[in-house]
Amino acid sequence: MSETQKRPAVVLLSGGMDSATVLAIAREQGFDCHALSMHYGQRHSAELDAARKVAVALGAVRHEVVSLDLSHLFHGPHGSALTDTGIEVPTSPAAAGTIPVTYVPARNTIMLSIALGWAEVIGATDIFFGANAVDYSGYPDCRPAYVNAYTTLANLATKAGVEGQSMKIHAPIIDLSKADIVKRGMELGVNFGMTVSCYQADAEGRACGKCDACRLRRQGFLDAGTIDPTRYRDA
């Protein structure tokens, strides 16, 4: 690779504010960003339209949407409110020490595994995703210990890792508050009005204003002292 060529990186892009900020960070660090989104049967599929817009706006060199509908598998007492419309999306935070019903079983592991395979194909050793352990919703696959463990797996389970090309899993906002994410994104030119975070956004991308994702997002803009550009259905 010549000095004028940028290194490729795979960036998981949901279409929400966190992953948009991560894409902007990867771009700032000089990577050619290959954005990867997943249609996994989520009820808030409007985020995929947002991801397409964000990928273009933030200069991704390529954006792929992988269809992996898990909704028919993730039904039942231990399923997720994001993939099973029979489970109501909660409008108040889960009790301390519990994992909310919006947790999608093994979602980050599934997504990172697909990202890891694509990274090998395009010759990338860097993968970025928007795990956050500060203003997060209690998901076990958003913790630093998980990121460290997956990095170990990535280097054990790939040809690139075995041959000495160290695979790196980047979670650059993992220790940022939602307000800090807002500020960092704005510094990097992220248009948060394009993003969709709501767990039950309508087809036009308008947020419910009541779910946990909306609560955290709204508080983030408030704490950052800036205008919330989110389109709410009750506005």
As a three-state string, the secondary structure of 53-105 is: HHHHHCCCCEEEEEECCCCCCCCCCCCCCCCCCCCCCCCCCCCCCCCCCCCCC
Query: Is 79 marked within a binding site?
Result: no
| 142 annotated to a ligand binding site | no
The whole-number pLDDT of residue 122 equals: 97
Cβ-based burial of 162 (10 A; exposed 0-12, middle 13-18, buried ≥19): exposed
Domain that holds residue 49: 8-224
**Domain for residue 233, yes or no?**
no
Q: Is the Cα torsion angle 173, 224, 204, 206 positive or negative in sign?
A: positive
Question: What is the sign of the dihedral through the CA atoms of 119, 120, 124 and 126?
Answer: positive
Q: Is 16 annotated as a binding residue?
A: yes
Residue 22: what pLDDT? 98
Judge whether 186 is annotated as a binding position. no
Predicted confidence at residue 235, as pLDDT, reads 58
Whether 194 is in a domain gets the answer: yes
- State yes or no: 213 annotated in a binding site: no
- Whether 232 maps to a domain, the answer reads no
Say if residue 130 carries a ligand binding annotation. no
Given a cut of 70, the residues of the chain with pLDDT beneath it are: 1-4, 135-137, 235
Position 234 in a domain: no
Q: Is 216 annotated as a binding residue?
A: no
Task: Kindly state whether residue 3 falls inside one of the protein's structural domains.
Answer: no
17 annotated ligand-binding residue: yes
CATH of the domain at 217: 3.40.50.620
Count of structural domains within the chain:
1
pLDDT value of position 85: 81
What pLDDT is recorded for position 82? 83
Is there a domain that residue 209 lies in? yes
Is 33 annotated to bind ligand?
no
Q: Any binding-site annotation on 69?
A: no
In a domain, 16, yes or no: yes
18 labeled binding residue: yes
